[in-house]
Amino acid sequence: MNNNSFFRRLRKNQAFWPLIALALILLFDAIYAPTFFKIGILDGHLYGNLIDVINDGAPLMLVAIGMTMVIATGGVDLSVGAVIAISAAMGAVLINPALGNQLISNDILTKDATNTPLWLIVLADLAAGTLCGLWNGILVSRGRIQPMVATLILMVAGRGIAQLITNGQIMTIYYTPYFYFGNGFILGVPVSIYMVAIVFILAWVLVRKTAIGLFVESVGINAKSTYYSGISEQNVKLLAYTFCGFCSAIAGLILSSYVHSADANNIGLFYELDAILSVVMGGTLMAGGRFSLFASVIGALVIWTFTITMYTVGVPANALLAAKAVLVLIVILLYSDYTQRLMNRFFERRGAQHGATH
Amino acid sequence: MAQRIRLSLLNHGPLLITMLIFFVAYMLGGWMYPTMQKPQVFFNLFINNSSLLIVAIGMTMVVLTRGIDLSVASVLALTTVASAVLLKHGLPPAVVMPLMLLMGITFGFILGSIIHFFKVEPFIVTLMGSFFARGMAYIISLTSVTINNDFYRFLALTSIQIPFLPNAYVYLYALVGPLLLLVTIYIAFFTRFGRTVYAIGNNEHSAALMGLPVGRTKIIVYAFSGFCSALAGIVFSISLLSGYGQYAPSMEMDAIASVVMGGILLTGGVGNVIGTLFGVLINGTIVSILQFNGTLSSWWTRIGVGLLTLVFIGLQSLFYRGKKHA
């Protein structure tokens, strides 16, 4: 009996299913691509497929953390990819404003120099993203526009704004200190993962050590009754969207630093989809309510492990989209009410304890 | 009488505003760039947005049931590639076209079934569908495939003179959208199915309690959207005489923006398919004005469409609130 309830608690934990998925994919790797687990040391830092997963997946983990907060309030943020592009464009422009100017010849552009100090670039990046998030938040909370539509506006216009900033050019960055965020290592571990850790701890403290997490969940469950309980439902939403913008801005910083360029059209493409997928995989309902930041991060890891595994076993990059779709299909079917009910029936044959959970 | 006028104004207000904005935008364009006054420019709107119009009509029906279909652009791209490759292998168009339409219907049917039976959010399911269709398009062919079929070429190059207007013409394929629009207007307003669609959009639960076939209607609506996407894909491949997996990269967003600009509420149940036509025309007018200007860069299109969408959503919520108070 005791054993049984332990399994039940484990199964009820939000991180349970994503961890199972991760384990399955790693098992697959262990059988079909044993090289996947090889971790070597090159130039004093770790390298290998697993490190790639963590380093490449860092932006997605960040966006997933922000997206979790938004989805927990019962909303969704479709503009994260566009915010990533805006943040990246901002960084590239501040490093060299002349980059976008076609009249200036190329040789001065390719110098390892910057026009703005690094701290100011980072600050401006974050400020741009946070402002975008704030804009979404105002539209949703004050304008009372459906979240999907409100963020759709920035999704459509955002990449236009990013192109406006970069003057329609793909800006290559030559300033080496900027590369640190995406390619640097501290104690042999990628810098990006430290940034994920900092944001994660910050968010975790914010939602679990203060009442904000509870507010977010209660807004997601019932915004109206939250309002009548004397909590400003508007400000909670505003905070969630702003935080999501902030996370996307950091993701933009890491991504542009990783690929050494800011391509307004393609940077962070499909990130909104991947981020929503991570959150859904992490067991947070799209309708809002109970959420788990940790489970979402694991969800993001699952996606990237899956991606890199597919590359390792030789699936062409183009076919990956279709493979990912099948993954999504399995996940959404597993999480659907119908399957959950079936599973509940399977695990609790007596059926005495369930029923009131929804 | 005054009461009735007020009521009908409230009901058709968003549509009237959409029409007004289109005419104002078009006249503004004509005033700034006299070449835009030529009738051909107006008909070019239909030629250039032929596939967007078809996709947007399918999207309208889905939005009316309070759903959304994000897979339209990918299904369109998949259709162009698949039909181009099939034609290359020597299959006659008489086989390829019905096959593509069948594929679109099946695709939409499957998505609709998942949405209905597993009770998953439409936008996640169709997102998955979008991934899948785009991936399949890349698997079929990585590069652009040209179409050399005589019948396709005939369809692409046949132009029809507009009566009473000299030097104005439309291509044959540009007529598909308006025809589909007429059919859809009939379906939406004069059939039991259409009324069910509106009822579901207003309140799915009470529609089910009234004994309306909610599940069947929802699945048919998604299948219809899949059909429209495939049809738009055929039109697209005719207009460009090629197929490519990267065609129409963000057309689902254009379609949603057109639907919103057409005065259809994304909360479902309110709106008119004719509005979608004007939404598409507004979209096209913005693009033409930018093209006539020449100095403005292409990204202003995106910013412009985004801003207009915002304005329309603001107007919608104003109207909606006014209606609630009335």
A307 to chain B, minimum CA–CA distance in Å?
14
Chain B positions touching A323 (Cβ under 8 A) are 135
> How far, in Å, CA of B48 to CA of B24, rounded?
20
Task: Tell me the two tokens of residue A295.
Answer: 């489970």
Which chain B residue has its CA at the smallest distance from A321's CA?
A: B135
Collapsing DSSP to helix, strand or coil, A231 comes out as: coil
Contact B129 A325 (CB under 8 A): yes
pLDDT in tens, B139-171: 898 888 888 888 888 888 888 888 877 778 888
Percentage of residues in chain B with pLDDT exceeding 90? 40
pLDDT band at A356 (very low <50, low <70, confident <90, very high): very low
Chain A residues lying within 8 Å of B271, measured CB to CB: none
For A231, the token pair is: 């909590």
pLDDT number for residue A163: 86
Q: Assign A48 to helix, strand or coil.
A: strand
**Residue A10 half-sphere exposure, CB side, CA atoms within 13 Å?**
9
Least confident of A14-28, A123-137, B88-102, B312-326: B312-326
Cα distances (Å, whole numbers) of residue A111 to A88, A345, B143: 19, 65, 36
Instruction: Give CA–CA dist A4/A86, Å, rounded.
Output: 50
* A140 occurs within a structural domain: yes
Question: Does the structure show a pLDDT above 70 at A328?
Answer: yes
Please determine, for residue B225, whether its predicted confidence score (pLDDT) is greater than 80. yes
Are B114 and A280 in contact (CB < 8 Å)?
A: no
B114 to chain A, any CB pair closer than 8 A? The answer is yes
Residues in chain A whose Cβ is within 8 Å of chain B:
76, 139, 143-146, 148-150, 152-161, 163-164, 168, 264, 273, 276, 280, 286, 318-326, 328-329, 332-333, 335-339
Subunit contact A321:B303, Cβ cutoff 8 A: no
Distance, in Å, from the CA atom of A64 to the CA atom of A281, rounded to the nearest integer, reads 11
For residue B128, give how far its alpha carbon lies from the nearest alpha carbon of chain A (Å): 5
- Answer whether B108's CB lies under 8 Å from B222's CB: yes
> What pLDDT sits at residue B32?
87
Among B124, B131, B302, beta carbon nearest to A159: B302
Residue A240 lies in a domain: yes
Is residue A62 one of the residues assigned to a domain? yes
- Which residue in the set B118, B125, B298 is minimally distant from A338, CB to CB? B118
Are A168 and B253 a contacting pair at CB < 8 A? no
Q: For residue A230, give the amino acid letter.
A: G
What distance, in Å, lies between the first and last C-alpha atoms of chain A? Answer: 24
Q: Which residue of B has its CA nearest to A328?
A: B128
Residue B326 confidence (pLDDT) above 50: no
Taking alpha carbons only, the member of B12, B155, B142, B144 closest to residue B84 is: B144
pLDDT of residue A160: 86
CB within 8 Å: B135 and A332 = no
The helix (run of H) or strand (run of E) holding residue B161 is: strand B159-161
Rounded-to-integer distance, Cα A271 and Cα A277, Å = 10
Q: Is residue A137 part of a domain?
A: yes
How close A322 gets to chain B, by Cα (Å)? 4
**Higher confidence at residue A41 or residue A120?**
A120
The confidence score (pLDDT) of residue B320 equals 64
Mean pLDDT of A113-135: 88
Element (H, E) at A12: helix A2-12
A94 belongs to a structural domain: yes
B142 interfaces chain A, CB cutoff of 8 Å: yes
Handedness of CA A284, B127, B114, A343 (dihedral sign): negative
For A264, nearest residue in chain B (alpha carbons): B299
For A164-219, how does the pLDDT look when each residue is reduced to its tens digit (9 = 90+)?
Answer: 888 777 777 777 788 888 777 887 778 888 999 999 999 999 888 888 888 988 88
Asked whether the beta carbons of residue A322 and residue B317 sit closer than 8 angstroms, the reply is: no
Structure tokens at A20: 């199972």
Alpha-carbon distance A14 to A34, whole Å? Answer: 29
As a whole number of angstroms, the distance between CA B225 and CA B72 comes to 7
User: Among positive and negative, which fits the CA dihedral A185, A186, A188, A190?
Assistant: negative
Mutate which: A156, A167, A279, A331, vs B, most B CBs within 10 A: A156
A119 lies in a domain?
Answer: yes
- Position A110 scores a pLDDT of 62
Contact status of B138 with chain A (Cβ, < 8 Å) = yes
A–B CB contacts, 8 A cutoff, strictly below: 127
Cβ separation A157–B121 shorter than 8 A: no
At residue B322, does pLDDT exceed 70?
A: no
**Structure confidence at residue A111 (pLDDT):** 66
User: B72: part of which helix (H) or strand (E)?
Assistant: helix B72-88
Q: What is the pTM of this model?
A: 0.83
Residues of A in contact with B136 (CB under 8 A): 322
Interface test with B, best of A141, A149, A161, A169 (most B CBs within 10 A): A149
ipTM of the complex: 0.76
Structural domains of chain B, with CATH:
14-319 (1.10.3470)
CA gap B49, A113 in Å, rounded: 46
pLDDT of residue B283: 87
| Short-list A309, A305, A284, A304, CA closest to A294 | A284
CA–CA gap between residue B63 and residue B198 (Å, rounded)? 10
Which phi and psi (to 5°) does residue B33 adopt? -125, 100
Q: pLDDT at position A11, please?
A: 66
Instruction: Dump pLDDT digits (tens) for A40-89.
Output: 776 767 777 788 888 888 999 999 999 999 999 988 898 999 999 999 99
Interface mutation vs chain B, best among A135, A140, A153, A263, most B CBs within 10 Å: A153
What is the C-alpha separation between B224 and B222, in angstroms, rounded? Answer: 5
* pLDDT value of position A230: 87
Range of the domain at A81: 50-300
Give the amino acid at B246. Answer: Q
Distances in Å between the Cα of A187 and the Cα atoms of A190, A191, A302, B136, B177 are 8, 9, 25, 42, 61
- Nearest chain B residue to A278 by CA distance is B124
**Distance in Å, alpha carbon of A160 to nearest chain B alpha carbon:** 5
The C-alpha atoms of residue B64 and residue B85 are separated, in whole angstroms, by: 35
Set of chain B residues whose Cβ sits within 8 Å of the Cβ of A157: 302-303, 305-307
Angle at alpha carbon of residue A324, lines to A322 and A326, rounded to 5°? 75
Q: What pLDDT does B324 receive?
A: 47
pLDDT at B108 over 90: yes
Say if B295 is an interface residue toward chain A (CB within 8 Å): no
Lowest mean pLDDT among A283-297, A311-325, B166-180, B213-227: A311-325
Q: Which residue is associated with the tokens 């598409």?
A: B280
Shortest Cα–Cα distance, B146 to chain A (Å): 20
Question: Cα(A166)–Cα(A189) distance, rounded to whole angstroms?
Answer: 32
Cβ-based burial of A111 (10 A; exposed 0-12, middle 13-18, buried ≥19): exposed
Q: How far apart are CA A194 and CA A201, in angstroms?
A: 10
User: Is residue A8 assigned to a domain?
Assistant: no
Residue B257 to residue A156, Cβ atoms within 8 A: yes
Three-state DSSP class for residue B19? helix
A226 part of a folded domain: yes
Q: Rg (Cα) of chain B, in Å, rounded?
A: 20
**CA dist B178 → A29, A180, A334, B173 (Å):** 53, 55, 42, 10
pLDDT for B323 equals 53
Query: Is B203 a residue whose pLDDT tops 50?
Result: yes
Mean pLDDT value across residues B7-22: 78
Helix axes B214-240, B192-202, angle to 10 degrees: 110
Q: What is the average per-residue pLDDT within B315-322?
A: 66
> Can you tell me which residue has the tokens 């897979």?
B71
Q: What pLDDT, on the 0 to 100 scale, is given for residue A285? A: 81
A302-309 average pLDDT score: 87
Residue A317 C-beta-side C-alpha neighbours within 13 Å: 1
- CB contact, 8 Å: B256 with chain A? yes
Domain count, chain A: 1
Phi, psi torsion values for A180, nearest 5 degrees = -55, -40
* Contact criterion met (CB below 8 Å) for A60 and A304: yes
Q: What is the pLDDT of residues B117-147, one digit of tens each?
A: 888 888 888 888 988 998 899 889 888 888 8
Question: What does the block give as tokens for A313?
Answer: 């076993």
Q: B303 — contact with chain A (CB < 8 Å)?
A: yes
Asked if A160 lies within 8 A of B142 by C-beta distance, the reply is: no
On chain A, the residues whose CB falls within 8 A of the CB of B121 are 286
